Amino acid sequence: MDIAYDRFAARIREFEETTDTELPQLLAELGPDVSENVLGYVRTLQDWMAGDNEWYRRPGRSTRGPAERLLHGPTGLGTSAARIASHQRG
């Protein structure tokens, strides 16, 4: 988990560096209409990455290991029917 988060954080830093150093020059060449669209897309990506970052940092997000998930079945939104079915078989 830590390795995945470190790689994710490195990608965020790379994205930020690119948007800070390379994007302004590119936008100047593209003109105002295209620049506005690109900046809107960049803001969307920044929001998405911030949400992903928050999700990774949330405590207890991944407390169950793969073996425990296999033994206890799926959890989360929409999985209650799967758990009921498995109890009826047993």
pLDDT of residue 9: 84
Tell me, yes or no, whether 50 and 73 share the same domain. Answer: no
| Predicted confidence (pLDDT) per residue in 60-80, tens digit | 665 555 555 555 666 666 666
User: Higher-confidence residue: 8 or 13?
Assistant: 13
The pLDDT of residue 54: 80
3-state secondary structure of 62: coil
Residues 46 and 19 in one domain: yes
Domain count within the chain: 2
Q: Residue 70: which domain range?
A: 65-90
Residue-wise pLDDT tens digits, 15-52? 999 999 999 999 999 989 899 999 999 999 988 888 87
| Between 61 and 4, residue with greater pLDDT | 4
